[in-house]
Structure 1
Amino acid sequence: MMNNLFSIFDPSTNLFMLPLNWISTFIGLMFIPFSFWFIPNRHFMFWKIIINKLHNEFKTLLGNNNNNKINGSTFIFISLFSFILFNNFLGLFPYIFTSTSHLSISLSLSFTLWLSFMIYGWINNTQHMFIHLIPQGTPGILMPFMVLIETISNIIRPGTLAVRLTANMIAGHLLLTLLSGSSSSLPNYLLIILIFMQILLLTLESAVAIIQSYVITVLSTLYSSEVN
């Protein structure tokens, strides 16, 4: 039972001896209609509204200190949001591997962003990075402890981002798998209730897919704004 339960998160499964699971990471591009790239239509206008809203919000979060750098920086986070959103949604379809439920994907994204922020901050804004280790108004006797606490909290940031995304993706999928696994032994009237509950859970998981991609991107933007 445990083996079957967690097999949906097993990247070693294959089709015709070909490890095709990780290809699902890029399958999201296939869901974009070809007309999206050429003709302004409803898909294009809807996605453009989302991108503009995200761009304005990320620009506010990044601050107005370096206006020449903000415009390009926001597209990094918009791309991150789109990538995570597509993969979260794809995991809700049957027989599609959920790549964002693995730390190998989520930790790679969060650690790469965090490391680039740290390198940029310590090279270009060294004094600001040292000041950030000690909150304003900290008593002198507590300064060594605050430096230690701030350093640890800074180091674990990529791990918390990755675990947050992975845990939320795994939790919903496990619950759906547990409910579907018990359907064979239920009478018809309880089976109808079970199907209704799974529809509600799928709706909730769709909301979680959007919320988690948004939360990860906003937190990454806030971490980026701290190094400027």
Structure 2
Amino acid sequence: MQTLTISEEPLAEAYSPEEVDDEHLPNWAKRTEFAEDPLGRAYALLVTFLPVELLHLLPSPSEPLTSTNLMLSLSSGQLLCIAYNAGVRKSKKPWGYINKTAIHDIAALEAEAETPSGQDGNKEKPKVWTFRRTENLRLWAAALKLRYMIPLVTTSQLTGNATRNGTPASSPSATTMAFQNGLVPNLFDAPIVARREHLWEEMLHDAVLLWMGAVVSEKRGET
């Protein structure tokens, strides 16, 4: 497994946010836009942050936007990591980048699999892709916790169960730490999302909206 590399916060002068008026904000951050459509705001943010050559991986603008079709397009973690880095780069606090070399290019693997040579390849590829999707999602979740202090926790952290290698969850538990900070923990299990198992869409949907909310608040100068 690759090292999940995220740049840490640099030592710098204190940052004092100042609220920005809507007229000076991009469409995805305006208070008057997407007021009751958080999914639409998240989509607009992704369209802004992702490079043009990857936009075709998102649901088509000509189709009705649903949680399911948007989450399916994001479930490999690749687009989330790339959009996250773009958001950090455009912010006034440009730290917490995900190492680009650690992001698995799932889109390229899937495109290759559609070719005649790819279809005749190793039947184990889907398992490898699941592992790589999991790594992308773990990297993104770790970045959200570090950069935006979004309280994402795994099932084992919430229940206090041992991790897969038998090591007990850290103490104090993630639940206790989250409540000490006045934040309610949100369940996010990267392997479940990568395999699209029970509750995967809800987990990813909630995490995406939490990330979007943090980026929007920072852009508005609220945090």
Normalising by structure 1, we get a TM-score of 0.31
Q: Which one has a larger percent helix, Structure 1 or Structure 2?
A: 1
TM-score, normalised on structure 2?
A: 0.32
